Amino acid sequence: MCVHAAGESSPGDLPKDTHAVVLAVAGEDALAAVERSLERAGVAHVAIREPDAPWNGALMAIGVEPGRKEALRRWLSSLPLLK
């Protein structure tokens, strides 16, 4: 899902020095809270929902459009790196 979210949120033709960062959340409720925060802030992102059973529309990942980390830090800095 992480790769799917990254691909869906990318505008394409990114600079070669663009870095992908994968962050973790405790579960779907926490992921939904991040999504609401990004929506309220107007941060460009793509929410990936799994349409098939058994998940039936569950939020699985969020891809944030690449940007300067300083601009995204406010909404994402509390999330740990995925290990």
Q: Which amino acid is at 36?
A: R
Q: Structure pTM?
A: 0.81
pLDDT in tens, 17-44: 877 888 999 999 999 999 999 999 999 9
Domain residue spans in the chain? 2-76
- d(C-alpha 52, C-alpha 68), whole Å: 34
Each residue of 42-72: pLDDT tens digit? 999 989 899 999 999 999 999 898 888 888 9
CA distance 61 to 50: 9
**How many other C-beta atoms lie within 10 A of the C-beta of residue 37?**
13
